Amino acid sequence: MTKEKAIEEILCSLETNDSSDRIPQTDTPIEPEEELKVDSESTDKTHQSGFDGFGFSDALIETLEKKGYKDPSPIQKAAFPELMLGRDLVGQAQTGTGKTAAFALPILERLKENKKNPQVLVLAPTRELAMQVAESFRSYAAGHPNLKVLAVYGGADFRSQVSTLKKGVDVVVGTPGRVMDHMRQGTMNTVDLSCLVLDEADEMLRMGFIDDVEWILGQLPEERQLVLFSATMPSEIRRLSKRYLNEPAEITIKSKQQEARLIRQRFINIHNSYKVEALKRVLEAVTGEGVIIFVRTKAITLIVAEALESSGHDVAVLNGDVPQNQRERTIDRLRKGSINILVATDVAARGLDVERIALVINYDMPFDGEAYVHRIGRTGRAGRNGEAILFVNHRERHFLRNLERAVGQQIDQMEVPSNSLINKSRLEKLQERLASSASTGREHEEETTLLKEVLENVGKELEIDSEQLAFAALNLAIGSSPLLVQGDENWIKQSSQRVRKNDRREERGNSRRRNDRDPRQLERNMERFRVEVGHRDRVKPGNLVGAIANEAGLQGRMIGRIQIFESYSYIDLPKGMPNEVFNDLKKLRVMNRELQINRQD
């Protein structure tokens, strides 16, 4: 189909429809909740916030309304009353359920004025989470301009943190190691500390920080509120809560399987060398108001973003190197529609809540079911439908069943979009834009009149009819870029054949090796690596887990057994590690020594 023929078909289609058909229709029904939102805007004075009734101040409720928060999540509804009463609390909830606000809002309301020493300490397993939680406190405290929040973590300037603490801080959010440093050196006075929060306690256990946490707990005043949040409840965390918490309220929020069912989930079998081209085609064919693309490492965020920008997409990057103020600006641009595509790592996108996200693409497969649930949970917000697409190579196929168990439903296979599918999508989008333009006038009536005069003058000058004039205007709007994709698509078929061939070869190899392998090792799908740091370097399991988890974009629980010897160590990591991740880990430094990681036969 030529460009001219396609334009003629669109014009004919518009002419045969009456004005009521010109507005593009959607398969998604309008939720009653959305209708209420419209009514509430017209009756601004009578609007009741869903956060009323918990004892929050007017200033805090006004801040929440400005941020677009209308109703509390289940974990928030359950936690607010208990924490406002000052009770200890144990909460079990997955990442992305709104637990930061669940503990931050009541804590803010119970802070006392004119206290120079910290009143609240929040412990987080990673610097990224510490930064994010600290920023959440600051944003919720917009109505309390004198409140001071400080994030403390390794790698940041220690003297700058000491200086800020001396000036007076209300809330400290930090990683266990750096908090211990300040407490040991007396630079953080805990005499006024009234509340301690352990955020993602199971992750701290997995990263080897639990002894540090217990040391910190032992230094605190006897009269204080303790809050513990964890995605899972292993025996060590349960023991910790029984030992240190006083008759705590217990809250358990069930997994988000039901919410996951609002999201259409599909996967594409694709060889790694074709992933970028497949991604471009998916973005063309699968329409989405806002898109998040999840990748495994910081380096891949830049590679993917550059490839998409060269194809004309407006893209932003979110990874661990992005400063917090820039992160906030990026999210705000995504929320307002200034950008439509965000390329992010798991850690950087933790807790991201933007309602207009309609599509999540897992460019790199997560090896953990909880990470997958968190990723796809960025779409389908507030009861809306969403879509999630997962790229899978032949080495990763055995992880697919684990993800299906995590969401409680089957993930269907789809093919890489063909030329014909992309062309159909392009024509539909063009027709929708044209229909929308036809039903929307200019803001100023004077401009509308001028545009009509231009059309009339051109028509008279060239002696062409209205159909030819409409074609010329549409051709001008499209520009010189080809309307239709007509390039070679044989690689799509070749990629599918290559993946199927690799699947068969790997299955034959697995059958030959099945009787010789440890069943537990097969089940865990782990691979052993050697790193050139050991006892002589004073390395601990937590050092290795924390460094590798942050660099490789893994969650701590995805890292297996660790054995530390005098001059080297063994560590088990998920199979199928991409070469770019492996190369980055080789350069990684722990205890001021390069890991020099290598696979152990």
Number of helical (H) and strand (E) elements in the chain, helices listed first: 24, 20
Looking only at the bridges linking them, the beta strands covering 562-564 and 569-574 are: antiparallel
Residue with tokens 């809330």: 171
Contacts of 470 (CB under 8 A, 6+ apart): 11
**Which pLDDT tens digit goes with each residue over 490-532?**
777 766 666 566 555 555 554 444 444 444 443 457 888 898 8
Determine whether domain 520-599 maps to CATH 3.30.70.330. yes
Is the C-alpha dihedral spanning 295, 320, 380, 330 positive or negative?
negative
Predicted TM-score of the model (pTM): 0.53
The predicted-structure confidence for 94-133, as pLDDT tens digits, reads as follows: 666 778 889 999 999 999 887 889 999 999 988 778 888 8
Q: Is the pLDDT of residue 237 over 80?
A: yes
Model confidence over 45-100: pLDDT tens digits? 345 678 888 888 888 888 888 877 778 888 899 999 999 999 999 998 766 677 88
Three-class DSSP category at 186 = coil
User: Are the C-beta atoms of residues 587 and 594 closer than 8 Å to each other?
Assistant: yes
pLDDT at residue 319 tops 80:
yes
Q: Is 355 exposed, middle or buried (0-12, 13-18, 19+ CB in 10 A)?
A: middle
Q: Determine the residue type at 599.
A: R
Q: What is the mean pLDDT of residues 181-198?
A: 93
Beta bridge partners of 466: none
| Same fold flag, 72-252 and 257-418 | yes
Number of Cβ atoms within 10 Å of the Cβ of 357: 25
Cα dist. 119→90, 122, 245, 370 in Å? 20, 10, 18, 33
Fold classification of 72-252 is Rossmann fold (3.40.50)
CATH class of 257-418: alpha beta
pLDDT given at position 271: 86
Q: Residue 1 — pLDDT band, cuts 50, 70, 90?
A: low
Domain boundaries of the chain, sorted by first residue: 3-18+422-478, 72-252, 257-418, 520-599
Strands 225-230 and 89-92: parallel
Rounded to whole angstroms, how far apart are CA atoms 360 and 387?
6
The model's pLDDT over 352-361, given as tens digits with 9 standing for 90+, comes to 778 788 899 9
